[in-house]
Structure 1
Amino acid sequence: MITIYHNNRCRKSREGLQILEESGKEFKVVKYLEDTPSEEKLKEIIELLGIKPLELVRKNEAIWKENFKDKELSDSEIISALAKFPKLIERPIVINGKKAVVGRPPENISTII
């Protein structure tokens, strides 16, 4: 089952959702601002993406700039921040089995569906 971690207020996330809808494949939508992934789930997602936790952070968000920007944070501290402030999570994230991508640009999604 394909899963999209989605924020309907984000244009890129809506474009990613449209790609999935047009694919005709079954998928599940997780509105991650309402149904925030746990730290454990975020670790799994980051591992599937094959990135460092910092690469999943939206560094232009005010929450990041005001609270974390100039701090030396460990990977686990970054993951904790993402779990506490889900608005910091880059979006959309699409997972298909053992493959995952951040849908920026949205065309990235086509590589795993």
Structure 2
Amino acid sequence: MITIYHNPRCGKSREGLKIVEESGAEVEVVKYLDNVPSLEELKNIIKLLGITPMELVRTKEAIWKENYKGKTFTDDELIKIMVENPKLIERPIVINGTKAVVGRPPEKIKDIL
């Protein structure tokens, strides 16, 4: 089962979902803006991705620029900020077992299928 954290309004996320669907694998689509991951879920996702929380933040979003830009946060604080403001979570995130990738560009998803 492949899980994709998906925002249907995002073109890159739609492209990523198409790649996963075309692989023929069973897919669980998580619309993360509606079904926000918990702190623990997001910590686990970041661990699977092998990145820092800051690398998952969409720093070009208005929410970030207006409220957080230029400030320093711990990893736990960043994760809490993303849970409280899921628009700040980079997308799409695709998880296949113990492998995960941020689908930017969407072709990176093929690396874990």
TM-score (norm 1): 0.99
CA distance in 2, matches of 1:32, 1:107: 21
CA distance in structure 1 between the aligned counterparts of 2:15 and 2:47, rounded to whole angstroms: 24
Aligned-partner Cα distance in 2 for 1:59–1:14: 21
1:67 has 2:67 as partner: yes
Q: In structure 1, what residue type is equivalent to 2:83? A: A
Q: Is it true that 1:97 corresponds to 2:70 in the alignment?
A: no
Question: How far 1:70 sits from its partner (Å)?
Answer: 1.0
Match of 2:42 in 1: 42
| 2:52 maps to 1:52 | yes
Return the letter of the residue paired with 1:90.
E
Question: 1:29 aligns to what SS in structure 2?
Answer: strand
Show CA shifts across 1:55-112 (max 9, x none): 0000000000111111110000000000000000000000000000000000010000
**Residues of 2 paired with 1:96 and 1:10: CA distance?**
21
How far did residue 21 of structure 1 move?
1.1
Which residue of structure 1 lines up, in the alignment, with residue 11 of structure 2?
Answer: 11
Which TM-score applies when normalising by structure 2? 0.99
Runs of 4 or more, structure 1, over 4 Å off, are none
Which stretches in structure 2 are left out of the alignment for 5+ residues? none
Deviation at 1:40, TM superposition (A): 0.6
Root mean square deviation of aligned Cα: 0.4
SS of alignment partner, residue 30 of structure 1: strand
What code does the residue aligned with 1:23 have? S
- For structure 1, the residue ranges without an aligned partner over 5 or more in a row are none
SS where residue 8 of structure 1 aligns?
Answer: coil
